[in-house]
Structure 1
Amino acid sequence: MADMDPAEKIKELAATLASVSAVLDMEAMRTEIAELREQSADPELWSDQANAQKVTRQLSTLESMVTKIEGIDQRLDDIGVLYELAEAEGDSDTRDEADRELEQLRKDIGELEVRTLLNGPHDEREAIVTINSQAGGVDAADWAQMLQRMYLRWAERHGYPTDVYETSYAEEAGIKSTSFAVKAPFAYGTLRGEHGTHRLVRISPFDNQNRRQTSFAGVDVVPSVEQSDHIEIDETELRIDVYRSSGPGGQGVNTTDSAVRITHLPTGIVVSCQNERSQLQNKATAMTMLQSKLLARKREEEQAALDEIRGDSVSSWGTQMRNYVLHPYQSVKDVRTGAETGNTSGVLDGEIDAFIDAEIRWMRSRERGDTA
């Protein structure tokens, strides 16, 4: 595409945008927007806070998507005029501006193209992300907290609401674990490629001899459950513990035993919630998290059974999925996709869209059985 005439590039991008619009079904989105606007105007909607928030989030997401597509379509028209103006006046500055805008359009349309790949069974759902420190001692706990910040900053950059359900702080620094929800449509499909082990290499700030340290943290991403999901949970198979919420360094943030930890004995899955004021609210949220994890486990077991029948081994992604090297050089690189950047500070501040897009494309190619 680099050697093509600008008019040909614009024509190619317009064709890609038309294809993306067809797959996303703009008319269906506009119809759904009208229905959601009608629902949001109903005064009774807010009698169910959770459903009301879901409706308004979905409405905002669809309106944003339609506005973005329409805006790109208009920009494609405008850039043709800009090139004509630059040619007519022999203006190199205007030509450079047009070239920059054309490159930005290529990126924006590429992002929309990735969105069409989110068509898995639960891709459209919100996501629950759990991060656990692994090998590496205090550095691993610090690393887990750095990852938490990275994902929360990523969500903030996109305007996605988040809700931190539970954070277990380590004694010296960082966190042992955390769970939080990303409350945006397609958050699960977008983030599920982040599942796996994340490896950090750096000079340890906790080592007085300034030695290089390798530490690990695990990221788990599951789809949120919906009312239509049917996950049987036998209350007799649960161990429910209540405890007092605490903040960094053990400082109390609650004077009652309102935090709740639920252990599902048959699977060993443990979930916790401490962000609500009452024990009942924390228990309800923890049960929702448990249902999400059990749903994900059920899906994994079903997929494993299908893979065994097919003799398919390509869906096993492995555990280590990304390396973050801060010393002796600066690099972040995906093990599976090969996506790489030297902008480590940007990545740790939430600039991970390039990695996420590469993961989505990689997962879809593997699921289709592509060999390329």
Structure 2
Amino acid sequence: MADQEPAEKIKELSSTLASVEAVLDLDAKHTEIAELRERSADPELWNDQENAQKVTRRLAHLESMVSKVENLRQRIDDLGVLYDLAAAESDSETLSEAERELKSLRSDIGDLEIRTLLSGPYDEREALVSIYAQAGGIDAADWAQMLQRMYLRWAERHGYPTVVYDTSYAEEAGIKSTTFAVKAQFAYGTLRGEHGVHRLVRISPFDNQGRRQTSFAGVDVVPVVEQSDHIDIDENELRIDVYRSSGPGGQSVNTTDSAVRITHVPTGIVVSCQNEKSQIQNRATAMSVLQARLLERKRREEQAEIDELRGESASSWGSQMRNYVLHPYQTVKDVRTHMETGNTAAVLDGEIDGFIDAEIRWLRSQE
């Protein structure tokens, strides 16, 4: 029975990968790759830069996806050989290597399986993440900064580049708000389930009496806009302010009024950017963030109309979605998926993949 156990494990992995291959429809992917390669070889393609970039981006994505699946299939075949070799030579070191590869394959196939669920219209895009301190005073501002670090550490762990566009620091500690981009394909589809209110319960480090404090921070996730997106913005509906960039404690980090704040008067949406050196660059970046917010607003309004026609209640995106309790016990629990862990330190250090995967599955089940 023990000798058959590795074979059963490999069979299970192979079956899971076969399910993923069926969903991806590799034959169709190969056909599309061939067509895109032919189009990309046409010199006339680059007469339309926007279309050319779209073609090459799609081609690179498909080639990467197919290569990843084929590589996983080859690794499963090699794993069987590795187990046979370990058994034939009674080699414990080779057996340990096979067990490590088995664990790695399970993780990689699981990641790919999750990726197949990201099929929304904007899921492939990069993400803009905004965090706002809510109820809880100085603790809420500190909590917002803790969340910013958590997401930046998550991106760092995955090798995803990030750019912080704007951070508004609170007077005593923490931040009032921040906006940053996660520049990786499928970042929006991966992170969109993080949208909502995050609640922290702990002994306040700012309370001399050591009392327990509950604080809240809101997380907003929207897809980065592309040139093909059509968002009408009337310049007359914008209020544009310029100011000097500031750091923690209100200290100035720039000697010129280069930071830009744009208010879209009809919707009340306010965006800021202060990370660029020039006012022109900050304005362009802020306009891009505003377009992303308006695009997501439009998408949610359309979804609400569809839900109403179906007789369904629209999702309450502003509702509490996760609790982080550091006292009197330690746990992090997602309200919707019921995913839970007691390792709060790891979560706050960016180990949130389990929560993200559960959210992706939950969102897909709702759709």
Q: Do both share a fold (TM > 0.5)? A: yes
Instruction: Give, in whole Å, the separation in 1 of the partners of 2:68 and 2:349.
Output: 24
Instruction: Give, in whole Å, the separation in 2 of the partners of 1:344 and 1:60.
Output: 38
1:347 alignment partner in structure 2: 347
Shift of 1:256: 1.0
Residue aligned with 1:229, SS: coil
Instruction: Give, in whole Å, the separation in 2 of the partners of 1:148 and 1:52.
Output: 35
Percent identity of equivalent pairs: 76
Query: Given that residues 204 and 213 in structure 2 are in contact (C-alpha distance below 8 angstroms), is that contact kept between their aligned partners in structure 1?
Result: yes
Query: Given that residues 58 and 185 in structure 1 are in contact (C-alpha distance below 8 angstroms), is that contact kept between their aligned partners in structure 2?
Result: no
Query: Given that residues 314 and 366 in structure 1 are in contact (C-alpha distance below 8 angstroms), is that contact kept between their aligned partners in structure 2?
Result: no
1:133 alignment partner in structure 2: 133
Amino acid of the structure 2 residue aligned with 1:216:
F
1:192-230 Cα deviation digits (max 9, x unpaired): 000000111112111222222111110000111111111
Gaps of 5+ in 1: 368-372
Query: Given that residues 72 and 105 in structure 2 are in contact (C-alpha distance below 8 angstroms), is that contact kept between their aligned partners in structure 1?
Result: yes
Residue aligned with 2:198, SS: strand
Residue aligned with 1:199, SS: strand
1:20-62 Cα deviation digits (max 9, x unpaired): 24544453685599689979xxxx99xx9x9999999888766
Instruction: Give, in whole Å, the separation in 2 of the partners of 1:53 and 1:191.
Output: 25
2:243 alignment partner in structure 1: 243
Instruction: Give, in whole Å, the separation in 1 of the partners of 2:40 and 2:344.
Output: 41
- The more displaced of 114-123 and 276-285 is 276-285
Instruction: Give, in whole Å, the separation in 1 of the partners of 2:179 and 2:55.
Output: 24
Query: Given that residues 40 and 52 in structure 2 are in contact (C-alpha distance below 8 angstroms), is that contact kept between their aligned partners in structure 1?
Result: no
Change in Cα spacing, 1:56 to 1:343, as seen in structure 2 (3 Å) is farther
1:190 alignment partner in structure 2: 190
Q: TM-score, normalised by structure 2?
A: 0.88
2:115 alignment partner in structure 1: 115
Shift of 1:317: 5.3
Residue aligned with 2:207, SS: coil
Superposed CA RMSD = 3.0
Amino acid of the structure 1 residue aligned with 2:326:
L
- The more displaced of 320-329 and 86-95 is 86-95
- The more displaced of 354-363 and 81-90 is 81-90
Shift of 1:343: 1.8
Instruction: Give, in whole Å, the separation in 2 of the partners of 1:54 and 1:329.
Output: 50
Amino acid of the structure 2 residue aligned with 1:233:
I
Amino acid of the structure 1 residue aligned with 2:343:
N
Instruction: Give, in whole Å, the separation in 1 of the partners of 2:245 and 2:32.
Output: 43
Shift of 1:289: 0.8
Instruction: Give, in whole Å, the separation in 2 of the partners of 1:359 and 1:115.
Output: 12
- The more displaced of 53-62 and 238-247 is 53-62
2:298 alignment partner in structure 1: 298
Residue aligned with 2:275, SS: coil
1:370 alignment partner in structure 2: none
Amino acid of the structure 2 residue aligned with 1:249:
G
Residue aligned with 2:167, SS: strand
- The more displaced of 317-326 and 96-105 is 96-105
2:265 alignment partner in structure 1: 265
